[in-house]
Amino acid sequence: MLRMSGDDCVIEAKSARRQGRLSDATALYEEAAESFQAENQLARWAHALRHAAEFAVRVGDSPRGLREAQIVVEYYRSSPPPTLEMANALRVMALAEMAAGENDSAVSHWIEARELYLHAGVADGVLEADRRVAVLAAVA
């Protein structure tokens, strides 16, 4: 069986996401990430893996999402991406940490993501970070 290209996997993952097939989207983004990594397209690898992490969390697999998010954030810390990419990676990391009950770490990552969203001019990201930190403060 032929493996799909990373680009084809991303196209299929987006389709699966629109159709509500989030488990399929997770697997397809993971396959895209593997393809991009094999082709040494590391920025695209990290981007696809970030999407896989987010969908893993959304389908209830927080350990998988957290593991993948950590890989992406570690990579971005060693090879700084554009501000918005890092903010989005930190957002997914914080979501995974919240799902795993790691609230202190989640607050820290939300605060860091908020600053980056503010710097990038993404008001929705700032608002989401503020809302998430407030929720976490209320349960502390």
Q: What is the pLDDT of residues 40-59, one digit of tens each?
A: 999 999 999 999 999 999 99
52-88 per-residue burial string, b: 16 or more CB within 10 A, e: under 16? bbbbbbbbebbebbbebbebbbebbeeeebebebbbb
For the entire predicted model, the pTM comes to 0.93
Integer Cα distance of 71 and 49 in angstroms? 8
- pLDDT of 100-135, one tens digit each? 999 999 999 999 999 999 999 999 999 999 999 999
Task: Assign a CATH topology to domain 6-139.
Answer: 1.25.40
All structural domains of the chain with their residue ranges: 6-139
pLDDT of the residue at 107: 97
Q: Tell me, what DSSP letter sits at residue 47?
A: H
